Structures are given as structure tokens and as C-alpha cells.
């Protein structure tokens, strides 16, 4: 009987322990469930904010891919063409066509408002047409010319009248536009000029080709300079560098450089590459060198981490069959570490593509009209172009700013997609 009484507290204590463990497991399961819900909620909120961002940019910039054109009947009087072709007054021919459309316009003020309905680039378009086909001289031709930016914005529905347009269009101009619309002399067409022109003071003539070309040249030089040097530095520090204070000092400074503000690299490029080496200002060459200095620490750090992740057995097996240390690194270690190195390169290039501060310091904020044909030509990049257009007072530059952001994001996605494809290809090759 005494034995049974002594066993009762032990049974009760064991039951209490089980209950405590069970209650603890239930609370832990609930905590894990809440944690998963928090994670799902965070992902949903992130996607929601990205969706709002992309929808906002797309809704503002999608209309920039269309441009309003006006059809004019232009008479090419042969008399001015009998002298030097360069003396032909093409803007005057456009003005004559507008006056013939509205013969009731007599006053100087009304004529000025009438001329403002079409883009100033209409005369250049007419000149190019005559140079391509001289047989049109002496005839009346129909030509579609781009409308002025205010007319374009009005017909796209961004404002409805003089009050909404903040006085940009007068009552007479609105009446003339409505007459064109009634006569079906107005069309919205794909804005090809946005993709084939450089920058311009006139929104309807402004394009991104110059900035896009500058971005491609700058990022190409950045990859060319930073990737091989960064990988070589990572290999040396991990595989061949002796362990001493000098190497420790170098490693600490590489880690510190990864956190330095980007504008500091712009100041360094201004002092060294432009003022000391006299490289051309506002060029893709200097921009590529500056961005290379900025992205190289990221590539080195990612490269070292990837090399460290390679199992030591790979090195030991290669050395065991007679491979030299250099052969071991180049033929065995580096191919296995290359996918991780490419990941660091993707991060560095994505950061470089969106940078503006270091490029502003070396003059790439300049107004560039011509398309760069080489790395030493004056150039700008897409983020700087977005910055310039966002600061412009014309209403039409608002939609072109959003459209340029869309092109920048598409360029970033395309560049990263190529890098991710290369990384996956390297991973399959190393695992096979």
C-alpha cells in the first residue's frame, strides 16, 4: 500500500509535465502560424505597393507613346527653291499653310496663337521631305506634322479647357482645334520620335535615344572594368594573399568602400579622371570609370563569399591529382563560385544603372541633343534624363518622365534577365 501511495505523486507530476509540454507546443504552433501569416501579409502589402507604383507610373506615362499629328496642305512655291536650298524659309511655308487654313486670322496676336498650334519641328520635317523627294516642289502636298505639346495634352484629355489648362490655350485656339477635329485633320499616332530622337526643349520632339545609348555605353564600360578586376581581387584575397596586417587593412577598406555614399565617387572621378587625366567631361568613359569604382567593392565582397562557399574537398581533390594552385582555382573553384559572383554583379549593375549623383558631378547632367556615337562623346543616362524632365515646367514633360521611367525599368529587367540566365547556365554547368 505504501508503494502505491508513493507512486501517485509521480504519476501526477508526469501528467503535469505532459500537459505543460502540450500547452507549450500548442502556443509554439500558434506563434509559427502567426509568423507565417505576418510573412504572407508583408508579401501582399509589398506587392500591393509595387502594383500601385507601377499603375501610377503606367497611367501617367502610357499616353506619351502616342503623339497628336495635324494634317496641313502646304504649297511649295518653286521660286524660293531656284536659289540656294539653304535659303528656303521652311517655317514660313508652314505659317502660310496655317494662314490658308484660317484666312479670317488677321491680327498679329491671333497669327502668333495660330502658329503655336503646331510644333516648331514641323519645318524640319518639311525640309527633310523636300530633300528626299524634290519632285514635290511646285505642288501642294499634304503633310502630317506634330502638334504643339499643349494641343497634344488637350486632345489626350489631360485638361478640358482654358481654365484647366492654366491659360495655355486661348478660346480662339480651342476653336481652331475643334475645327480640325471636325474635319478629321487630327490623328493620334505612335510616338516614334520618343524612341529615335535625343533630348529637346520641346516636349513633342524630345526622345530617349541619346540617354538610352549613353546608359548602354556607360553600363557596358562599368561591366568591362569592374567585373574582371573585382573577380581577380576576390580570387587573390581568398586564395593567394598572405595573412598579414596589410591584407587585413585592404579587406577593411574594401568593406568600408561598399558603404561610401555614391556622390563621393563622383567627386573622386571629377578630381582624378577629369581634372588630372583630362578625360572628356560628360562622357560615357568617365561615367563607366566612376560607376566601376562604386560597384567594384560589391563584386569583390560577393566574390569572396562565393569562393568561401566552395567545399575544401574540391581543392584537396584537385591538388591531390597533381593540379597546380592556379589550375585548381581557375578550373575547379572559380567555375563553382561563378554563379554567386554573377549574383553580386547583378546587384552592383542594378545599383549603377539607377545612380544619378556621381554622374551629376562629372557633368552628365548637361543638355545633350545629339546621339553619342562613342565612349568619348558627350552623353547622358536615363536616370539623369528623368531628373531633367521632372524639373521641366512644361506639362507634357510629366508624361514623358513617367514613360522614361517605364523604359528604364524595362531596360533594368532585360539586363537582369540576361544576367540571371547566365547564372542559371553556369549553375547547371557546374552541377553537371
pLDDT digits (tens, 9 = 90+) for 120-140: 889 999 998 988 888 888 888
- Which residue, among 340, 351, 380, 365, has the nearest Cα to 222 in the 3D structure? 351
At residue 79, the pLDDT reads: 80
Q: Which domains are present in the chain?
A: 66-190 (no CATH), 209-431 (1.10.3720.10)
- What are 16's three cell numbers? 503535469
Q: Report the alpha-carbon distance of residue 159 to residue 150 in Å, rounded.
A: 9
Confidence category of residue 165, pLDDT binned at 50, 70, 90: very low
Average pLDDT (103-117) is 91
Q: Are 223 and 298 in contact (CB under 8 A)?
A: no
pLDDT tens, position by position, 36-93: 999 999 999 999 999 998 898 888 889 999 999 999 999 988 887 777 666 788 899 9
Q: Tell me which of 75-89, 125-139, 205-219, 411-425 is least confident.
A: 75-89
Average pLDDT (148-177) is 79
Which H or E run contains 92? helix 90-101
Q: Are 272 and 361 in contact (CB under 8 A)?
A: no
At residue 167, the pLDDT reads: 56
Q: Tell me which of 115-119, 133-137, 421-425 is least confident.
A: 421-425
The residues, any chain, with a CB within 8 Å of residue 170's CB and separated by 6 or more, are: 113, 162
Residue where the block lists cell 503623339: 67
- Which residue, among 66, 63, 68, 72, has the nearest Cα to 91 in the 3D structure? 72
Q: Tell me which of 71-85, 188-202, 316-330 is least confident.
A: 71-85
Q: Are 218 and 384 in contact (CB under 8 A)?
A: no
At residue 431, the pLDDT reads: 64
Q: Report the alpha-carbon distance of residue 106 to residue 116 in Å, rounded.
A: 15
At residue 369, the pLDDT reads: 85
Q: Report the alpha-carbon distance of residue 143 to residue 339 in Å, rounded.
A: 55
At residue 80, the pLDDT reads: 77
Q: Report the alpha-carbon distance of residue 62 to residue 331 in Å, rounded.
A: 49
pLDDT tens, position by position, 385-404: 998 898 888 888 989 999 99
At residue 99, the pLDDT reads: 92
Strands (E), 338-395: none
Average pLDDT, the chain: 86
Confidence category of residue 166, pLDDT binned at 50, 70, 90: very low
pTM listed for this prediction: 0.84
Average pLDDT (150-173) is 75
Average pLDDT (311-329) is 88
Q: Tell me which of 14-18, 44-48, 106-110, 247-251 is least confident.
A: 14-18
At residue 340, the pLDDT reads: 86
Ranked by mean pLDDT, the top range of 85-89, 147-151, 426-430 is 147-151
At residue 38, the pLDDT reads: 93
Amino acid at each position: 500500500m505504501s508503494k502505491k501511495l508513493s507512486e501517485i505523486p509521480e504519476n501526477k507530476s508526469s501528467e503535469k509535465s505532459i500537459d505543460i509540454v502540450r500547452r507549450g507546443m500548442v502556443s509554439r504552433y500558434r506563434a509559427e502560424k502567426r509568423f507565417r501569416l505576418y510573412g504572407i501579409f508583408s508579401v501582399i502589402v509589398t506587392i500591393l505597393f509595387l502594383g500601385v507604383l507601377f499603375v501610377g507610373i503606367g497611367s501617367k506615362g502610357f499616353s506619351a507613346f502616342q503623339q497628336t499629328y495635324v494634317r496641313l496642305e502646304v504649297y511649295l512655291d518653286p521660286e524660293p527653291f531656284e536659289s540656294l536650298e539653304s535659303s528656303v524659309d521652311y517655317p514660313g511655308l508652314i505659317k502660310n499653310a496655317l494662314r490658308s487654313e484660317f484666312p479670317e486670322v488677321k491680327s498679329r496676336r491671333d497669327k502668333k496663337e495660330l502658329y503655336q498650334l503646331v510644333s516648331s519641328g514641323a519645318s524640319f520635317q518639311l525640309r527633310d521631305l523636300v530633300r528626299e523627294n524634290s519632285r514635290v516642289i511646285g505642288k501642294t502636298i499634304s503633310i502630317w506634322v506634330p502638334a504643339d505639346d499643349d494641343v497634344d495634352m488637350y486632345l489626350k484629355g489631360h485638361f478640358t479647357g482654358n481654365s484647366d489648362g492654366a491659360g495655355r490655350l486661348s478660346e480662339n485656339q480651342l476653336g481652331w482645334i475643334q475645327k480640325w477635329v471636325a474635319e478629321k485633320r487630327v490623328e493620334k499616332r505612335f510616338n516614334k520620335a520618343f524612341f529615335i530622337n535625343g533630348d529637346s526643349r520641346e516636349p513633342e520632339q524630345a526622345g530617349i535615344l541619346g540617354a538610352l545609348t549613353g546608359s548602354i555605353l556607360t553600363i557596358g564600360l562599368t561591366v568591362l572594368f569592374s567585373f574582371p578586376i573585382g573577380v581577380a581581387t576576390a580570387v587573390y584575397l581568398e586564395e593567394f594573399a598572405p595573412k598579414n596586417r596589410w591584407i587585413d587593412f585592404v579587406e577593411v577598406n574594401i568593406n568600408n568602400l561598399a558603404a561610401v555614399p555614391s556622390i563621393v565617387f563622383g567627386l573622386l572621378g571629377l578630381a582624378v579622371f577629369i581634372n588630372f587625366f583630362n578625360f572628356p567631361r560628360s562622357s560615357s568613359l568617365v561615367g563607366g570609370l566612376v560607376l566601376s569604382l562604386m560597384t567594384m567593392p560589391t563584386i569583390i565582397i560577393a566574390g569572396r563569399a562565393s569562393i568561401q562557399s566552395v567545399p575544401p574537398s574540391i581543392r584537396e581533390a584537385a591538388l591531390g591529382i597533381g593540379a597546380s594552385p592556379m589550375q585548381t582555382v581557375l578550373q575547379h573553384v572559380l567555375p563553382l563560385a561563378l554563379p554567386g559572383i554573377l549574383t553580386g554583379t547583378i546587384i552592383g549593375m542594378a545599383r549603377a544603372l539607377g545612380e544619378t549623383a556621381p554622374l551629376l558631378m562629372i557633368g552628365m547632367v548637361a543638355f545633350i541633343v545629339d546621339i553619342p556615337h562613342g565612349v568619348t562623346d558627350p552623353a547622358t543616362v536615363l536616370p539623369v534624363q528623368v531628373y531633367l524632365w521632372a524639373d521641366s515646367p512644361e506639362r507634357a514633360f510629366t508624361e514623358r518622365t513617367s514613360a522614361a521611367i517605364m523604359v528604364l525599368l524595362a531596360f533594368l529587367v532585360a539586363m537582369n534577365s540576361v544576367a540571371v540566365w547566365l547564372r542559371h547556365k553556369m549553375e547547371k554547368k557546374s552541377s553537371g
